[in-house]
Amino acid sequence: MSTGRPALGEMLADLVELGAIEFRPEPLDALVERRLKAVWTARSCPNCGAESLQALSNSSRIWCGRCDWKTTYTRGTPFYNSDLAPGEVLIAFVLYADSLLSINQIALLLSPCYKTLFERIKETETAFHRGFPTVWGHLPQTVKGPTQIDETQQQCSGYKGQEPPRNGLDRAGSSSEAGRTRWSGEWGDELTLVAACRDSLRVVAAEEGVAYDEELGPVLEEVEDLSQSLGEVWTDEFPAYKAMDHDRRIVVHDEEYVTDDGVHTNQVECLWSLIQPWLAKFRGLSKQGLEQAARTYGFVRSLNLTDAPLRNLVSCIAVNAFR
């Protein structure tokens, strides 16, 4: 008899119950503690301006030796005051952002409470977005070469045919707020996903509507912010790219996929082949959910391509402690 649970998530849950797979958050707990304490002790006291703060390995407290200001090292992060251990939050976010498992399937593995896991993952995703640009700028990598740009259309879930929309529904694709964020559009309304691939850097953004005469520029601006000088841009013949104020070279896909002098958008086409199955696991996304999910995939893909260790993911989240 069917249990109604997703098949893949159920099989993995069975393997966990049998002891064939074991999630051990303790090493990740220690990694989070070391990283967050290192960040705190490297900054000045927000209360009196003392040059450094204090921390002990056997205490969760951060304090100032001059004015006795105190806090806990998880303050300002998704790990603060959570029912889940920091390592469990990290495991959940990695499974969410770097696999085809849905939040519902991950909940079968890590948490008996779907809502708790959902809220922690979405808070972690929001923190990751905020911290990524800062951490990316300090990674020992060099982004080089031309920037390939491409676009694809994606349907949004809108109201899923219901008027008025249902009240808050906890599902993947929501914003960081409780409940699902609904878009005022209709079922089947389109967004344009625009991606820029430059060496290891992958940036994906979503823009409302599809218009041939509009500029699809924000994703380029983000790439330029993250990689300094943008350099040469390769695009297809889509008219919206004409407004770009960059050194642009074009491949006309109706005629060829690679020009005689090597201009192509194959990296972005490959990115679409990877991101579409990942987005499909959500079974429909609102406008806000699609924007957030696409950006998450691009940033995580960038970290993977630079072989950045897991501590860099923690650093992206840790930056938010000072916001």
The DSSP string of 216-258 is: --HHHHHHHHHHSS---EEE-S-GGGGG--S-EEE--TTT-SS
The domains located in the chain, with CATH, are 7-138 (no CATH), 147-307 (3.30.420)
Contact between residue 193 and residue 152 where contact means Cβ atoms under 8 Å apart: yes
The pLDDT tens digits along the chain (323 residues) read: 344 445 566 788 788 888 888 889 999 999 999 999 998 998 899 899 999 899 998 899 999 999 999 999 999 999 999 989 999 999 999 999 999 998 988 988 887 788 999 999 999 999 999 999 999 999 988 888 899 999 888 877 754 444 434 443 333 333 334 333 333 445 567 788 999 999 999 999 887 765 666 777 778 888 988 987 778 899 888 888 877 777 888 888 878 889 989 899 999 999 999 999 999 888 888 878 888 999 999 999 999 999 988 999 999 998 877 66
Contact between residue 194 and residue 291 where contact means Cβ atoms under 8 Å apart: no
Distance between CA atoms of 239 and 318, rounded to whole angstroms?
41
CA distances from 257 to 198, 203, 269 (A): 18, 22, 11
Contact between residue 80 and residue 74 where contact means Cβ atoms under 8 Å apart: yes
Q: Which residues contact 8 (CB under 8 A, 6 or more apart)?
A: 100, 101, 105
